[in-house]
Amino acid sequence: MSAIFTLSILQSALELGCIYSLVALALFISFSILNIADLSTDGCFTLGCAVGAMVTLSGHPFLALFAAMGAGICSGFITAFLQTRMGVPSILAGIIVNTGLYTVNIAVMGFSSNVNLFACDTIFSLAKDKTASPWYDSWYKFLIVLAIVLVIGIILSWFLNTRLGLSIRATGDNEHMVRASSINPLFMITVGLCAANALTALSGAILGQYQKSCDINLGTGMVTIALASLIIGETIIGKGSMLKKVIGVVLGSCLYRFIVALALRLNVPAEALKLVSAMIVAIAISFPYLKEKSHFYKMRSHNPGIYRKEGNANVSH
């Protein structure tokens, strides 16, 4: 039997893990920090991919990344506007924006449901063949996404320790405190959601250039996948500084990709992949709870009930 993990599987898991880790980082901001379930993630991911693809097609693969982030910020702003200024409940605001984005995405792609980028330069094709080293040839894609994730990770962990970042974290942590300490929670939610959606859209744009195509259904289920990565990351890293948590989220995302790759390797049919994803998410989310439970059962079995023990003692004497 051949090894379960070949180098190429490891490689693509790392590449995809890094790309998708940006969405997980976005959910880290909205879900973990702001305590808001942002369900516009699916649509925003496709939006980033669509905008990125169109700008790439016109010959600006680098500009595409920034354009996608700009589009993500707009989408995040609308979600935030609905919930902070229009009184729409946060989950509903995400669903509404997500629904609207479907049409926007189709329109961005020129009223077609997919776009391919095989004929034009991408950030990956531009970096190809820069050196003769075979090592670079096989790893350049990973190096590019790793560099992007590093930059984003460093900026994010720096940002979350600035006063604006602290205020955003406090907004999700204790609403009473925030209101009593001159922080405008509405502004903080807006900034947080804009930042989160910028990352989601950036991830979409990179994925579009990576697989050289964009499809209207690309983002479906993205929120589940990102949530799985986020929770795997939080489970393996636990408590710690913001930088540590950010690293955990990226690791979680890569680990998730490994699990998916493993599932594919074990001949799970491609159609069943969404089911596998859902199961991984369910397991990842319930894992911390089950761990605590098992700790309790272990404690109980190691320290048998005092009543029973005393009862036995009475009988024997």
Partner 1 sequence: MLVIDSVSKTFHPGTVNEKKALDQVSLSLADGDFATIVGSNGAGKSTLFNAITGSFYVDEGRIILGGEDITYCKEHTRSKVIGHLFQDPLKGTAPHMTIEENMALAYLRASTSRHAYFSRISTNEKEKFREQLSLLDMGLEDRMKQPVGLLSGGQRQALTLLMATMVTPRILLLDEHTAALDPATADKVLALTEKIIAERNITCLMVTHNMHQALSLGNRTLMMDDGHIVFHVSGEERKKLSINDLLEQFRIHVGKQLDNDRILLSK
Binding positions for partner 1, rule: CB under 8 A: 161-164, 166-167, 169-170, 173-174, 176-185, 239
Helix ranges (H only) for 160-239 are: 163-173, 175-180, 185-211, 222-237
Q: Which of 94, 172 has the CB closer to partner 1?
A: 172
Give the nearest distance from C-beta 87 to partner 1 in angstroms.
15
**Using only C-alpha atoms, what is the Rg of the chain?**
23
Q: Which of 143, 151 has the CB closer to partner 1?
A: 151
Give the nearest distance from C-beta 191 to partner 1 in angstroms.
9
Q: Which of 169, 257 has the CB closer to partner 1?
A: 169
Question: Do residues 235 and 287 lie in contact, with contact meaning Cβ atoms separated by under 8 Å?
Answer: yes
Q: Which of 141, 245 has the CB closer to partner 1?
A: 245
Q: In Å, what is the CA distance from 52 to each residue of 99, 204, 205, 294? A: 20, 8, 5, 47
Give the nearest distance from C-beta 164 to partner 1 in angstroms.
4
Q: Which of 176, 308 has the CB closer to partner 1?
A: 176
Q: Which of 168, 225 has the CB closer to partner 1?
A: 168
Joined tokens for residue 312: 């036995």
Question: Do residues 47 and 104 lie in contact, with contact meaning Cβ atoms separated by under 8 Å?
Answer: yes
| Residue (of 307, 253, 262, 308) closest to 284 by Cα position | 253
H-helix or E-strand containing 114? strand 114-116
Joined tokens for residue 196: 């989160």
Coil vs helix vs strand at 213: strand
Q: Which of 167, 197 has the CB closer to partner 1?
A: 167
Give the nearest distance from C-beta 188 to partner 1 in angstroms.
10
Give the nearest distance from C-beta 163 to partner 1 in angstroms.
5
Give the nearest distance from C-beta 282 to partner 1 in angstroms.
25
d(CA 90, CA 85): 11
Backbone angles phi, psi at 269, to 5 degrees: -65, 150
Joined tokens for residue 289: 């709870």
| Residue (of 38, 44, 24) closest to 192 by Cα position | 38
Give the nearest distance from C-beta 227 to partner 1 in angstroms.
19
| Residue (of 177, 176, 171, 225) closest to 200 by Cα position | 225
Give the nearest distance from C-beta 246 to partner 1 in angstroms.
15
Q: Which of 129, 175 has the CB closer to partner 1?
A: 175
Question: Do residues 249 and 24 lie in contact, with contact meaning Cβ atoms separated by under 8 Å?
Answer: yes
Joined tokens for residue 310: 């005393």
